[in-house]
Structure 1
Amino acid sequence: MHELYDNQGRTERAVLVGLKLARHDDEIWQMAFTELKGLVETAGAEVVTELIQNRDLPDPATYIGKGKLAELNAVIGELNIDVVVFDSELSPKHVRNLENALSCRVLDRTQVILDIFAMRAKTREGKLQVELAQLHYLMPRLTGQGAAMSRLGGGIGTRGPGETKLETDRRHIRGRILELSRQLDEVRKHRDLHKKRRKKQEIPVIAFVGYTNAGKSTLMKAIVERYGNGNREVAEGRNRLFDTLDTTTRQVQLPDGKTAIFSDTVGFIQQLPHSLIRAFRSTLEETAEADLIVHVVDASHPGFDVQMATVYDVLQELKVLDRPILTVFNKIDLVPGAWIGNDPNSTETVRVSATLGDGLDTLMEKANDLAGVRHLLVTVEVPYKEAALTAQVHREGRIFEEEHRESGTYLKAEVPQRLADELSVYFLQEAEEVVPPKEVKKLYFDFTTPESDDVLH
């Protein structure tokens, strides 16, 4: 059982520390550093001041140089600072040395993001996933930090799901990780049953993805209110980072009269912790299982192109760039003039204002066209004892070649995704034989500069 988290009702005072390396793109780095301030404030602390250092490389011992470290210590004393937040993920060695050198707690960007996720998690699955990500991150960094967290008893970076205090005992953490993994496996099995049911009914799944605060929840709410099948409950979109954490799914009627499942997922962000991507894989699999990906972009944000690149980084990691992608440039009412957005990686684009309801009909028409059930070209040899499966291919597929061989029926056919899954054990060809139903630009388009990919991706 975790101890209750308590910050004694006092807002923590924080200083942000940024390290700008020579290889960083100025605009991208500044956007990420400005974003850090919003993250820290979302986590509940007050950003009192900022320190920035320009270097060729991070200091191997303390991340920032000795002179800047001395300056930081002076600021901590003068401004009564409670916590220092660094702009990138710190190594265990950096954390240990910085805690020894500074007279307050030390956090990095990853811990702040994990802390916000802990606050936002509402469902059982969300809480399990967040806690697992936190413990994976914490394990190699326990030396020194565990004592510091126990001594200070609270603050940003220490809360677990439900505002409990994070476990800091190494032995307990190992056992807890195993237990969390076991519970998540049970949740995944339950989720898989729903997926199989949807596949049998051939209900298309449309997944909404996007940078955090792009307006996904507001857009989903507007769509459900106008086109929902009587199920109007959906997350209320607010101007908060990671406001939607747990996946929300709703049934929506497409223009052709068919029903589709619309799925709203957690927003992405620069340097999204890999421990979170790993822990949230089952939730993100809603995107991997989708027939159509709707990429929601905040067209009013000055760095929307960088945000788009961040989203594509995650989609590439999920291996879903072969799916049709409908890019929705949202908040168009906040963009002056006749702005025209472009996304070289999408199948289609549309401009909307979720708050005003403009462009929703066009969005739904394009979603209707792109979200058809996926058909795959398969080459199989089905054993004669599976004659019912062969008959199913005849009923539901388009057969291009058929041959009765000694060990079974050879078939080359185009079949629905669901049937292809059943036939997969009899595949004779590699996965590259799979043909998407629509023409999709598969090349990953990188909006960022090559020099920045090891920092901001």
Structure 2
Amino acid sequence: MKAILVQVQFQNEEKSLVELEALCQACHIDVDQEFIQKREKIDVSTYIGKGKVQEIKRNITDQDMIIFDDELSPLQIRNLTDILGIEVTDRTDLILRIFDQRAKTKEAKLQIEIARYLYLLPRLIGMQEHLSHQQGGSGFRGRGEKQIELDRRLISRKLTKAKKELANTVKQRQTQRQRRKQNDMPVIALVGYTNSGKSTLMNAFCLEDKQKVLQQDMLFATLQTATRHISIHHHPCLLTDTVGFIDRLPHHLVQAFRSTLEEVKEADLLLHVIDISQPNYMQHINTTNEVLRSLGVVDTPVIYVYNKIDLNRVWFPPQEPCVYISAKDKKGLDELENEISHILFKDYEVYELNIPYEDGEVFNYLHHHCLVVEFKYLQESIYIKVEAKRKEIQPYRQYISKH
């Protein structure tokens, strides 16, 4: 499949088609030609100027579609399709296609289905050719309904059904999160721009191959939220990988994936992974922070993880607290663990307890919920030395050893 890419650059704007090209590659679309127009404002009817439309039309040969690096209105899609005689689509639709191809789990498929319906509903008028009224038959009043109204009602029904199914899946995820809270295990969430190396970093923390997630050098390789048990300085933690963000991430996707992104809101610490080899890495940071703010994530501690130092030879001014790593080569992971430990476990203290054998359930609880430094079976009790928060030990203060 071959495509022509089109972009509008406004005053004092520095844009490139590199990211749109990468999105095409992720969707297995070959880029054949590119057109860029500088304008003060968009054309309401065709987005680009009439002259540029005609220039593109003269250059159409065997391409399958034209993709605009922005979201087009239904009117613009209809007018451009009529003039150019070829499929016209936009950046949002391209991202939805990629998500549709990559979705594996039932939850991800439902989320993409909902996002697609939300995108299609306002565009039915622009995409439908058959707008003539159906003739009302015998026993019916009026002229019947337009085909567009029938299609809109059909999509609305499908949208409602998909939302109900997703709500049931969300309940299951909420139950899982509740169990984690009961276990009082710290949750670390990986966030960042797509293809910044989040999945590679997760795999670097996973000791067993069966725990590892898919990692590929392409945009949106990960759509499913994955959670794994890891250890930070011997403390058990949960590490969650999330879907990557992107500039101008379609609001339909943010809305549809809100249930998945709730994992980020529940986290005790965020690792904001940044591909430092990208020249526009600061824009990637800002994009991620904007999406996090839109989700209501504002007070959660953040470590800025500057990744792919193996590809970069230039020093960049950091945002604190930060760590420089290469997840691929596992460089800088010790420094990252130290930073994580400093934030998550700064309130932890070491306690020594003597637990009578008849209170063995207390020993079992501490053994499963605290970092056990040492334990011994004595004649009348079990000696255990743990590292934990004061509130975790408070219910068992009567067992604390007196020195």
C-alpha distance in 1, partners of 2:128/2:184?
Answer: 50
Q: Residue 353 of structure 1 aligns with which residue?
A: 326
Residue 151 of structure 2 is aligned with which of 157, 169, 172?
A: 169
Q: How does 1:20-419 map onto structure 2 within 5 Å?
A: 20-24=9-13, 26=14, 29-30=15-16, 33-76=17-60, 79-146=61-128, 169-225=151-207, 232-255=210-233, 257-336=234-313, 339-343=315-319, 346=320, 348-372=321-345
1:121 Cα shift?
Answer: 0.7
C-alpha distance in 2, partners of 1:373/1:279?
Answer: 36
1:340 Cα shift?
Answer: 4.9
Q: Residue 139 of structure 2 aligns with which residue?
A: none
C-alpha distance in 2, partners of 1:60/1:146?
Answer: 19
TM-score of the two chains, using structure 2 as the length reference: 0.79
TM-score of the two chains, using structure 1 as the length reference: 0.70
Backbone CA RMSD of aligned residues: 2.3
Q: Residue 3 of structure 2 aligns with which residue?
A: 14
1:258 Cα shift?
Answer: 2.3
SS in 2 for 1:212: coil
1:145 Cα shift?
Answer: 2.0
AA matched with 1:88: D
Q: Residue 430 of structure 1 aligns with which residue?
A: none
AA matched with 1:335: N
C-alpha distance in 2, partners of 1:62/1:334?
Answer: 41
8 Å CA contact retained: 2:75, 2:126? no
C-alpha distance in 2, partners of 1:359/1:169?
Answer: 55
Alignment gaps of 5+ in structure 1: 1-11, 149-167, 375-414, 417-457
In terms of Rg, which structure is larger?
A: 2
AA matched with 1:61: S
C-alpha distance in 2, partners of 1:239/1:317?
Answer: 27
1:200 Cα shift?
Answer: 1.4
C-alpha distance in 2, partners of 1:66/1:253?
Answer: 60
C-alpha distance in 2, partners of 1:329/1:239?
Answer: 17
| Corresponding residue pairs, total | 333
1:146 Cα shift?
Answer: 4.9
Q: Which has the higher contact order (CA 8 A, sep 6+)?
A: 1
Spell out, residue by residue over 1:15-58, the C-alpha distance to the aligned partner (whole angstroms, 9 max, x if none): 0011111142x2xx12xx21001111211211100011111000
1:302 Cα shift?
Answer: 1.1
C-alpha distance in 2, partners of 1:342/1:309?
Answer: 13
AA matched with 1:325: V
1:259 Cα shift?
Answer: 1.2
SS in 2 for 1:240: coil
Cα pair distance change 1:83/1:98, threshold 3 Å: same
Q: Residue 444 of structure 1 aligns with which residue?
A: none
Alignment gaps of 5+ in structure 2: 131-149, 348-389, 392-403
SS in 2 for 1:306: helix
8 Å CA contact retained: 1:204, 1:372? no
1:236 Cα shift?
Answer: 3.0
C-alpha distance in 1, partners of 2:209/2:34?
Answer: 46
8 Å CA contact retained: 2:292, 2:298? yes
SS in 1 for 2:63: coil
C-alpha distance in 2, partners of 1:317/1:80?
Answer: 42
C-alpha distance in 2, partners of 1:341/1:365?
Answer: 21
8 Å CA contact retained: 2:74, 2:127? no
SS in 2 for 1:297: strand
1:107 Cα shift?
Answer: 0.5
AA matched with 1:303: N
1:171 Cα shift?
Answer: 2.6
Identity, in percent, stands at 42
SS in 2 for 1:169: helix
AA matched with 1:238: Q
C-alpha distance in 2, partners of 1:99/1:47?
Answer: 19
SS in 2 for 1:278: helix
